[in-house]
Amino acid sequence: MTYAAALSLGREAITIALLVCAPALVMGLVTGLIISIFQAVTQIQEPTLAFIPKIIVVAFAILFFGPFMLALLTDFTRRVFLSLSTYTQ
């Protein structure tokens, strides 16, 4: 495996990892922001108030975007296995 091929494979793996994590992270971020604004407006300073809605929203995001995440991961894995012979030269 050449240095360029290793860098290319690593870059693509990081990109796929970011794309797979993005829906859950973005929805958790938006939920946390909404709850923080709600806490600031109502002056409720309960630190545990944000955890349960975030957990529920992230679980929903994983269920809703699961097929998309799985498709990205299986496509990347298939491409890596198919091009495995070019990496072992």
Spatial CA neighbour of 87 closest among 25, 4, 28: 4
Phi, psi of 53 (to 5 degrees): -60, -35
According to the model, what pLDDT value does residue 83 have?
A: 86
d(CA 87, CA 17): 21
- 57: containing domain: 3-87
State the total domains in the chain. Answer: 1
Tokens standing for residue 9: 């494979």
Angular region, 49: left φ>0, alpha ψ -120 to 50, beta rest: alpha
Sole residue written with tokens 């990205």:
72
**Model pTM?**
0.79
pLDDT along the chain (89 residues), means of 10: 86 95 95 91 83 93 95 95 79
pLDDT at residue 89 in the model? 61
